[in-house]
Amino acid sequence: MWPHHHEGVRVGVIDVGSNTVRLHIADGDGPVCGRKALLGLGDSVERYGLIPPAKLDEAAETVAGFVTEARRRGAEEIEVLVTSPGRQASNGELLIRRLELASGVPVRLLSAVEEGRLGFVGAMTAVRGGGRKPVAVCDVGGGSSQIAVGTRRDGPAWVRSVDIGSMRLTSRSFPDDPPGLAELADARAEVARCFDGIVPPLPMRAYAIGGSARALRAFVGTSTLSTEELEGAIEELATMPAAEVAIRADCELGRARTLTAGAIILEAICERVHVPLEVVRRGGVREGAAIELGTRRLAA
């Protein structure tokens, strides 16, 4: 059911998330270019309930610059996607208008279900096999987390989104660096509260996409995250300064500061799907959106 390429069409997708704004350019041969900028819009939403004017300006400037880059690299179709910051901020509509005005390209606010579905599509392009077997794809973002369960052949049949992400949980539970062991119990209780009632269909395999999962893969030194490995990583992360985490996890300092929270959310997901999480290096919302954008361009 899922196309794995979009022939010769070159497309650009700009993903405006809670932690970062990312540019993904791809064509029929795969990824062409990737860029990212750490803006932390979700932190502003968590603190103030909205995106302040200075952050709106920064987001608009960043997106406009990425659109210019995509055009310079030959993208025939360009789309801007806004995820949890647009859904959670009281001035989310203003963010959309500012991005449309600055970029001159379509800006789409993804619903939580759309975000989970696109993540599933993108992940399936990066893994092999299992056409009829149920699989789960989980994505821990900065402001929200998605779980989608389905098959490669038929797509996701069950999608849920939870309004807790690595940045949100860090703001609520981990004000210090390092986070501290004493704060872990409260953070886990907050995640359990947010995931209350989330009972996914049991998959044969589960995949983790997104920046937190990739950083944890580097931190623990394995591509599969079990509950035991996540528990051990959380204990280490809670007592390690972010600067050291950034080196070991090969990630930016901003990502390192939220990695303890990201690991706790992934631990909760792993407990619910009852199988280890296999970290996908590439493949997620942006890749799924690029496939659909290229497909629409060919059909036009």
pLDDT of 131 higher than 70: yes
What is the rounded average pLDDT of the residues 9-14?
A: 94
Q: Which residue has the tokens 């603190």?
A: 47
What is the model's pTM? Answer: 0.91
Percent of the chain with pLDDT over 90: 83
The pair phi, psi for residue 140, each rounded to 5°, is -95, 110
Confidence label for 21 from pLDDT (cuts 50, 70 and 90):
very high
Average pLDDT across the chain, whole number: 92
Share of the chain above pLDDT 70, in %: 95
Burial 28-51 (b: 16+ CB within 10 A, else e): eeeebbebbeebbbbbbbbeeebb
Q: Specify the long-range contacts of residues 239-245, CB closer than 8 Å, at least 24 apart.
A: 239/178, 239/180, 239/181, 240/178, 241/177, 241/178, 242/177, 242/178, 245/219
Residue 61: the pLDDT is 98
pLDDT at 31 over 70: yes
Quick one: tokens of 249? 């996890």
- Per-residue pLDDT band for 1 (boundaries 50, 70, 90) equals very low
Domains parsed from the chain with CATH numbers: 11-111+286-299 (3.30.420.40), 127-279 (3.30.420.150)
Tens digits of residue pLDDT in 214-272: 999 999 999 999 999 999 999 999 999 999 999 999 999 999 999 999 999 999 999 99
Which residue type sits at 245? V
